[in-house]
Copies of this chain bind each other. A is one copy, B any other.
């Protein structure tokens, strides 16, 4: 059985989103604030729709945490949909409420609408779009925030920034950065309304979004997620489904609207000769007078290291101690004020696609969701390797392994 597992539930305008995360060791300090910070980050970013002003998400911890610490039992979180109160009977579980709002019958291209309605045999597309909506990712971010808290205890940080929105692209390349540089770039990005570390490009992105708003259009883009402090040895080469890059790819591609994922240099690899893109191996003797290196979370400062990071921290499906670099592309928001051509599923007449209130550009938020998904995967691989039912036990196991890494 998987050590860590997690599942979410909830419709976009239903009563609440619910999530259960199981397998976090007992004794981890955690509070709602740790979660709400990321929920707020997910709701921000220039180019968001009206809903973000209605909701200010907060996660209620229903179980698994007592007196500020996890107790080993499943952590249940709930985020109320504040917008739900405007929906009256429209989303109630009660049979009596049937028909209280009219059905959505004109599927929106680019969404699960049509395929979902056919698959689940629904005449009201609302029964599909309520769950396929990116609203669901609020709970993923909440669960991811818990695992970030966990990883932070071992010096592991997960961050992201936007590198492209539409035609505007920064030259920032995270696979060329050291850990400190990554964290600094991240801090810079957090100040930008589009979460782009490049100030000049940020402004151009804003202008491009303004244009899209004006034209009733939408935009996508590209973001990068990085992880610093990762120990060598997470993931495995021994089976197709134990490779860490594969798991990360699933988790990130599985976010609404993602159409591509890269690790390290990614598609840039295709153009290169082998001699240009391998991360050669160096060795710095371990200084025996230094105190325990476990906290460092990598083998970079001593022992084996690499000068470059084309591989993005993963070789053969295993972390190699360098920062993990993941890049993902988000397609433009498919819902548009200037509607697309569609067909009414009842009348079969050609018509404009339905319009649900929507964002114009959500790439900055997508980066935050990417962080959450990557954090969940790293935490899973971490717990698989180190085991442990309490933080003290996991810590002991981790420290003694890091000692082994130092001495190897």
Contacts and interface: CB of A to CB of B under 8 A. Distances in A.
Contacts of A10: 62-63, 74, 76
Contacts of A250: 241, 246-247, 249-250, 253
A270 B166 contact: yes
A239 interface: yes
B385 A384 contact: no
B74 A270 contact: no
Interface in A1-36: 1-3, 5, 7-11, 14-18, 20, 22, 25-27, 29, 31-32
Contact of A280 (B9, B68, B109): B109
Most buried by B among A10, A100, A126, A353: A10
Contact of A220 (B64, B269, B299): B269
A114 interface: yes
Contacts of A116: 72, 237, 316, 318
A233 B7 contact: no
Q: What class of interface size applies to chain A in its complex with B?
A: 35 or more
B389 A385 contact: yes
B18 A62 contact: yes
Interface string A219-239: 111100000000011001111
A194 to B, nearest CB: 13
A172 interface: no
Contacts of A270: 164-166, 220-222, 329-331
26 contacts: A7-B74, A9-B62, A16-B76, A66-B126, A68-B96, A68-B98, A71-B120, A72-B116, A73-B130, A73-B131, A74-B238, A109-B278, A110-B274, A110-B315, A112-B315, A115-B315, A115-B320, A131-B237, A166-B270, A217-B273, A218-B275, A222-B267, A250-B250, A275-B336, A275-B340, A283-B350
